[in-house]
Structure formats: structure tokens, C-alpha cells
Amino acid sequence: MCNDIRGRENLVSFFKRFNTYIKPYAGVLVLAVFTMLCVDIIAYMIPLCIGYITDHIFPFMHTPGMIQKLLIICGVLMLAGIIRGIVSHVMIRSYWHVGEVVVRDLRNGLYEKLQHLDLAFYDQARTGDLMSRVTTDILLIRDFFAFGIEHRLRIILITLTIFVLMLMQEWRLALAVYGLIPFLYLVVVSFSKKMRKAVTKKQKQMGIMTARVQENITGIRIVKAFAMENKEIETFHSENKKMLEREIKMSLLQVDLNSILLLTNGAGSLIILLFGGYLVITSQLTLGVLFAFIAYLGLMGFPINMLAFNTSLINLALGAGDRIWEILQCADQQQINRNTLQIPLRGKIAFRQVSFGYQEHVPVLKDLNFTIQPGEKVALFGLTGAGKSTLISLIPRFYLPGTGRIEIDDRDISDWELGFLRSRIGIVQQETFLFSSSIKENIAFGKPGTSLEEIQRVARLAHIDEFINGLPLGYDTLVGEYGIGLSGGQKQRVAIARTLLQDPALLILDDCTSSLDTITERKIQAQLQELMKGRTTIIIAQRISTLDLAERIIVLDRGTIQDIDTHPGLMKRNKLYRKTYEHQLAHLHNNGY
């Protein structure tokens, strides 16, 4: 990832980091807090009423008007209970509304960020781990806003308010009960640190396990081809066991904290009964005040019972916030792309002393110098690992060159507006990717909203229209993930149609026929000729048959340009090219082609 920031998050920094997502709903959050205060204020009335009734009503029940006074107080309490229920409903809805809308916006922001991060980020990231952050971690933050904030505020406010009310009625008994608070604070801080470490390990393991599932499902055909189902099950069981251990560690911490809190609550009850009873016996405290203290302790049951769960929830949310912020704070292509050049592309490409490596001090391309003229068709030829795919990935700015300069139409590549530049570059890749949608939607992927007539036109040019019309649902036929259900040649034709619809000025063919048989390759090459008309074209070639499409050939060897010339020129003077060409030609003759 961009930077390791885990371990730095606290509630203050959490709100600062996600302030952009919280601020639009500050009004609803204030309403939620206000209604929460109303709910608790009404609750505080009950012990006061109990104390008043015990000391000032029950002893004087024979006095005229006392029964009516008791009924009035009971009626007020009943009305207060109804109001508390209504206000509580508003409070809960408000907190959940904030939780849902903040998480919706955060999920949208995270997905947008993922769309704009460069490929260097995805080279290091695991798909399953990213999925875990977008789904599981987001929900933890939702829970924090939905009831985590409410619980933490109520824990603090109830504890402080009851302390003040106790002090107002009997300060000695209040101090005796609240003398346990410093101990509780130290316990909670200690457990919070342990929980944070446990949460980090748990969420990291969740990402690993999600990635494992994603990779297994994606590669299920390989798993079955090698009969590795049992091995994969064993590996998953191992990862799942680690997940269980981390879950148990987290749960035990919560259970241990909860046990300590309950013991403390019991100690508080004992103090009230013993010390409070002594004060009543010695006439230093009324029975009504003692009952009020007992009722206050009942109200303290909520903070005591919820503190362990709330501490766990907040630590989970902070850990999730770390993992999400780790992505959000990455520099993306929108931040890097500050230029706005958008003029018609002629298609001239120039590499000037360009070097590049995926890792620092490990160059993949070294000192590349060449120029391709508008409309020219140039092939990149070299053995596996020569750097061909890396070279073409620099042209759409999937990666930035380490040193040197790349020019498009005599302008530095960084001068061009990134979205516009990529929209003018068409790429037919070696491994065609089709989405799990209809054939029509796959062809129109680069130009949503294209009419069916236009889609059919490019399909005819790619010689795939007849096949599509022969399907039961025609262009509305759904294809599986990665184009499952279509042959290699059919997928390539769909990809060619998709690129034709884009109508690019510059075309890159990334060894797009290498996985096809020779007969299918010849058919596809006929469609590629149509696609290349009037366009600057760069062709990655490992087969000699593909070289027929090019006017000039650049020979790459271990990241450097070994030679640039036409096919006849290279056959005369370039040993690597001639040897490879003759070897493949002999192979074709031996196979009867």
C-alpha cells in the first residue's frame, strides 16, 4: 500500500480524517445527540421522583391531598415515559441515518479512489484484501456511527450526570461509589490497547482469507485441472483456523473486560448498601435518598454493561478507519493529472532516453530512443521478458517513466489530459477481459449509450455479427466472467469490435493472437487489418505471422533496443531476429502450414 499508518488512529484523528463525509450530516448528528440528552434527562427524573415520594409522600399519606399528589407524579412519570419512547425512536433513527449515509458516501469515495489509483498500486495490492476493505471494514464504520457514538456519549454523560446528582444529595456516599472510577479508567485504557492490537491482526487475517477465497474462485479451473481441491480446502482451513484464533482473542478480551466491569458494579452496590445503610441508621441520610442512590446505580447498569462492547466496537472501527484511510490518502491519477491538453491526436510517438523499472534500481527498460510517425505500423519483437508489454504500458501512462521523456505529437505525454489521452488510445490485449454482462454491453463498454445499429456495424467489421445473431438472445446474450462461454477467437473479435467502436487515433495490439491456433489467427489478422487502417499502430509480436502487419520492427532484448528496421533489413543483419524467424518458420512447415 501507499503508507503504513496503522496504530496512529484515535477518535479525534478518526473524525478529522473522515470529516468530509460526516460534515454534510452534522445537523442530523446534532439532532441525534439532542434527542439522546432528552432521553437520558427523563431517565434521571425517575430516581429523583422515587426519593421524593419515599421521603415526602409515603410518610404523610394520611394528610389530605397526598393521594392526588401521588397520582399526579405517577401521571407525569407515565407521560414522561411516553415522550421518552417517542424521542428515543427519533434518536435511534437519526443515528442509523447518519451511519448509513456516511457509509454510503464513504463507500462511493473509496470506490472512486480505487478507480483512479494507478496500476503500480494494484501491482502490490491483493484483490481479496481490497474487497474486504470495501465491504467488511465499511460496515464496521457504519456500526460505529449507528450506535457506537451514541453508546460512548451516553456512557460518559450518564456517568458524569449521575455523579453530579449523587454529589448534590450526599457527597460522601457519591465519592465512596465513584472512588472506583480511576481504577476502571486504567483497566479500560489497558484493554483498549490490547484490543487494538488484536483488531489489527484480526482485520489483516480477514483480508488474507478474503483474498484466498477470491483467488481460488478466480482460478477454480486451474485448481480442478491439477486436482488440487483437497489441498485448497486444507489451506483454507488453516487460514480459517488463524481467523478463529484472532476472533477468540478479541472475544476473550471483551469478556475479561466485561467481567471486571460487572465486579466493579457489584462493588458499587455493596458500598451503597453498607455505607448508605450506615448513614441511614445513624440518621445522616434519609431512606428516600438511599433508594435514589440504588436507582442511580440501576441507571449505571447501561454504562457498565455496554462499556466492554463499546470499547471493542470503537477499536474495530478505528482499525477499519486505518485500513480505509490507507487507501484514501494514496495519491491518485486525478491528483497527478493537472494538465488539460485536448487536441486532435495525429499519432506521432517518440521515446527519448526512456528508462523504467517497477522497483527502484531494477530497470526493465533502459535508454529507449525511437520515433513512430503518424499512421505508421510498428511491431515490437523480442523474446519473453524483453520488456515489450512494459513499453506499451507507458504510452497510456499506466506507469510514469523513471527517466527520459515520452512525447505524443511532439508534446510531453504529461501535458495531455489523462482521460482524453486514454480515450484516443485503443488497446487489444493478449488476454481479453469481458465483463459479466451482455455482449452488447461489452462491445459498448467504452461508449455507453451507443445505439444497437452502431454496435452491429462494428461487430460486422470484426466479423462477429453472424455468430452473435445465431445466439438465442443475440446481442443480449450474457457472457460469464472473463468471457466464459465464448471461444478465444470469439472473445478477440468482441474485443476488436469494442476497440473499433472507440475509434482510437492510436492502436496497441498486445500480442493479441498468440493464444490462438494458426487458422483462427489468420482470420483475426484480417479483422486487425481493418482496425489498423489510418491509425498509428504498435504491435507486440512473438509469432512471425504477426510481423506481416508491420512496416517497421523494433527488436527488444533485455530491456534495450537491439535494432530497428524492416523485415528484410533485420533478416540480413540481426542474428536474434533471423534465428527466431527461421526457427518459427521451420516449425510452421513441419506442421503443414
Three-state SS sequence of 148-190: HHHHHHHHHHHHHHHHHHHHHHCHHHHHHHHCCHHHHHHHHHH
Q: How far apart are CA 401 and CA 532, in angstroms?
A: 27
High-pLDDT (> 90) share of the chain, %: 25
Average pLDDT over every residue of 423-442: 86
In the structure, what pLDDT confidence band is assigned to residue 6 with cuts at 50, 70 and 90? very low
Measured CA angle at 412 (ends 408, 413), to 5 deg: 65
What pLDDT is recorded for position 7?
46
Grid coordinates given for 408: 505524443
Look up the pTM and report it.
0.78
Average pLDDT over every residue of 172-196: 85
Average pLDDT over every residue of 428-442: 84
Nearest to 536, CA basis, from 503, 578, 505, 515 = 505
Q: How far apart are CA 1 and CA 133, in angstroms?
A: 13
What pLDDT is recorded for position 22?
93
Maximum mean pLDDT: which of 36-40, 50-54, 257-261: 36-40
What pLDDT is recorded for position 115?
87
The H or E element spanning position 425 is: strand 425-428
pLDDT tens figures, 100-154: 999 999 999 999 999 888 888 888 888 888 888 888 899 999 999 988 898 899 8
In the structure, what pLDDT confidence band is assigned to residue 519 with cuts at 50, 70 and 90? low
CB-based contacts of 293, cutoff 8 Å, min separation 6: 47, 166, 169, 170, 173, 177, 272, 276
Residue 515: pLDDT over 60: no
DSSP for 345-391, please give it. Answer: ----EEEEEEEE-SBTTB-SEEEEEEEE-TT-EEEEE--TTSSHHHH
More confident residue, 517 or 264: 264
β-strand 536-541 against 552-557: which pairing, if any?
unpaired
What distance separates the 2 farthest-apart alpha carbons in the chain? Answer: 125
Number of residues in the chain: 593
Average pLDDT over every residue of 229-237: 89
DSSP single-letter state for residue 545: G
Domains in the chain with CATH codes = 11-335 (1.20.1560.10), 355-424+509-593 (3.40.50.300), 431-503 (3.40.50.300)
β-strand 349-356 against 403-408: which pairing, if any?
antiparallel
Q: How far apart are CA 424 and CA 142, in angstroms?
A: 41
Grid coordinates given for 69: 399528589
Q: Are 503 and 474 in contact (CB under 8 A)?
A: no
In the structure, what pLDDT confidence band is assigned to residue 536 with cuts at 50, 70 and 90? very high
The answer to which of 23-37, 214-228, 445-459, 568-582 has the lowest mean pLDDT is 214-228
The answer to which of 122-131, 226-235, 510-519 has the lowest mean pLDDT is 510-519
Q: Are 334 and 527 in contact (CB under 8 A)?
A: no
